[in-house]
Amino acid sequence: MYCYIVKESSEIPLKSHRTRPRFEKKLLNNIEYALRGEGITDYDIVIKEGVITIKSGNEKIGDVVSNVFGVHRVCKALCGEFHTINDIVARAEEIFKDVVTEKKFAVRVKRAGSHAFTSLDVAAKVGEALLKYSAGVNLSNPDVVVSIEIRDNVAYYILKCWDGVKGLPIGTEGRVLSLFSGGYDSTLASWLAGKRGCEVDFLHFFMGSKEMTMQAFLIAKELTKWLSPYESKMTIIDITPLLSEIRIKVRNDYSQVVLRWYMHYIAQKLSSIHNYDAVITGESVGQASSQTLKNLSVIEESLELSNKKPVIRPLAFMDKEEIIEKIRSLGLYEMTSKVKEVCRLAIGPVTTRAHMKILINEVKKVSKELIDVLLRTRITVSIKDTELNTLSKLLDEFILGVEVSAEEAIKMIKEGAIPIDVRDLRDYEAWHLSNAIHITELNKMLKESLDFNKSYVIYCDYGTLSLAYAKMLRRIGINAFSVKGGINELKKLLRAFTKS
């Protein structure tokens, strides 16, 4: 049976007498949750004066508890009651004589409580008892350190220690939504949010790569070993239609900034819906063109939303080398290095000092209706309870068989598919495909008489809004398809038919 001594983070004792018990109770609960999660149930745990003691014969406890936020240090020890200083010395000699054999050693003693001896008295007597086994004493640079802690009438003979992750216990602060790609930056930002006691959920933007989204999910799953006992969720939003819309409508040098603006806009919308306390990002000042201080400032200032949540950037002033070094120390480098950049939109020079008026004008070129549809098609999964193959099936709904060419669309319509026009009603009234219904008619049909056995071919100006609608309708069981390239491709094809 071992005694594990768990020291709480140095911040916790500094809390007020009203606050500290809440933090310590949360820390105790989180430690027990972590132990149970590893199947460890054979233990006794108590807390006294900021020190948690766990009695157990399980060898895994140090590794598990050291990864709980709020833990400063964990030490594995043999422990026992004593009556006199000689009891301590005799037990220390028995435990440490093989440890110091033919090595230079030093004895360190910590003591709490009222005793007839000092810490130095114990160190001197233990050192004297061990000297005959060793190569001598070296207080400044020993080969081994014999550590003993004395608390009231119990002595702890330290065998091994682990540095904890420190910080504050999960659940002592609020809930945050992390913009999460699974790369170095967003992974570390999420971890740091957890370290400050936040409950972290993830917002991941699907950009066409199932592989990258699956990898991001695996990394989020790995992060939950620190973020428990909060059961983190991941919301996935397919923004491939948004990427297409930006490429088509937004001036090239502002495309990256507009994309980042919409990422923040969507995050703020979700934060408002689910009542998060803040949005977390992995943005680092100057690391990319859209992350210059000027661009970040203009983006945030131009997001004029009610109930806007604060945006927190834990990595704001860290460079890439520092970020990767920390990721390595967490054992996450191999996983995060597999996540590649997939949101590069601009070709050539991009703005690093966006102007407010220009940015707002470019942002307005993107259909807000498109964003609303994207939000309605989001999927949210429990990271703990969702298996990888389940996520894979959900992602297949995003990417399989939704888009068709203009030629395929015309063929499907001739075979009985119903065309749906999702453009502005005035554009629909000016010109539309024969037999096409407007999206407003579909909304009525959904409530009354929609035939779920038929196929529906959806088109818009460029194929972006129609793609979002097709995916949304797929989610409710409608066999919907989007015309790639939109109305222009359809008109070209129809003109060719007319000439022939």
Cα–Cα distance for residue pair 371/70, rounded to 1 Å:
39
**Quick check: 222 pLDDT over 90?**
yes
Q: For residue 448, give Cα distances in angstroms to 75, 377, 419, 444.
A: 67, 22, 18, 6
pLDDT of residue 344: 56
CA 90 from centroid of its chain's CA atoms: 51
pLDDT of residue 329: 96
**Residue 393: Cβ within 10 Å count:** 9
Cα–Cα distance for residue pair 109/34, rounded to 1 Å:
30
Q: In a 3-state reduction of DSSP, which class is residue 134?
A: coil
224-241: pLDDT as tens digits: 999 999 999 999 998 988
Active site residues: 460
pLDDT band (50, 70, 90) for residue 437: very high
Name which of 91-95, 119-123, 341-345 the model is least confident about.
341-345
Cα–Cα distance for residue pair 441/483, rounded to 1 Å:
19
Q: In this structure, are residues 474 and 378 in contact, taking their beta carbons and an 8 Å threshold?
A: no
**Quick check: 443 pLDDT over 90?**
no
Cα–Cα distance for residue pair 39/58, rounded to 1 Å:
10
Cα–Cα distance for residue pair 39/12, rounded to 1 Å:
28
Question: How crowded is the C-beta side of 233, counted as CA atoms within 13 Å?
Answer: 12
Q: In a 3-state reduction of DSSP, which class is residue 477?
A: coil
129-143: pLDDT as tens digits: 999 999 999 999 999
Q: In this structure, are residues 5 and 53 in contact, taking their beta carbons and an 8 Å threshold?
A: yes
Cα–Cα distance for residue pair 21/5, rounded to 1 Å:
19
Q: List % helix, strand, coil for the chain (3-state, nearest 5).
A: 45, 20, 35
Residue type (1 letter), 447? K
pLDDT of residue 345: 61
Give bridge partners of residue 200 from the DSSP assignment: 176
This prediction has a pTM of: 0.85
Q: What is the mean pLDDT of residues 93-122?
A: 96
pLDDT band (50, 70, 90) for residue 500: very low
Q: For residue 79, give Cα distances in angstroms to 50, 97, 475.
A: 18, 16, 60
Give bridge partners of residue 109 from the DSSP assignment: 148
347-405: pLDDT as tens digits: 668 899 999 999 999 999 998 888 988 998 899 999 999 999 999 988 887 666 688 99
pLDDT band (50, 70, 90) for residue 36: very high
pLDDT band (50, 70, 90) for residue 308: very high
User: What are residue 118's phi and psi, to 5 degrees?
Assistant: -105, 170
DSSP assignment letter at 479: E
- Mean pLDDT score across all residues of the chain: 92
Residue type (1 letter), 17? H
**Quick check: 448 pLDDT over 80?**
no
**Quick check: 495 pLDDT over 80?**
no
CA 14 from centroid of its chain's CA atoms: 29
How do strand 175-179 and strand 278-280 relate by DSSP bridges? parallel
310-325: pLDDT as tens digits: 999 999 999 999 999 9
DSSP assignment letter at 46: E
pLDDT of residue 342: 56
Name which of 108-122, 165-179, 340-354, 418-432 the model is least confident about.
340-354
Question: Which tokens in the block code for residue 66?
Answer: 């050291």
Strands across the sheet with 455-459, in order? 403-404, 479-483, 455-459, 418-421, 437-438
pLDDT of residue 499: 46
Question: How crowded is the C-beta side of 289, counted as CA atoms within 13 Å?
Answer: 19
For residue 126, give the H/E element and its range. helix 119-130
How far apart, in Å, do the first and last CA atoms of the chain sit? 89
Question: Which tokens in the block code for residue 382?
Answer: 């429990």
376-385: pLDDT as tens digits: 889 999 999 9
Cα–Cα distance for residue pair 319/151, rounded to 1 Å:
44
What is the 3-state secondary structure of 290-338?
HHCHHHHHHHHHHCCCCCCCCEECCCCCCCHHHHHHHHHHCCCHHHHCC
Outline where 166-235 has alpha helix (H): 184-195, 210-227
**Quick check: 433 pLDDT over 50?**
yes
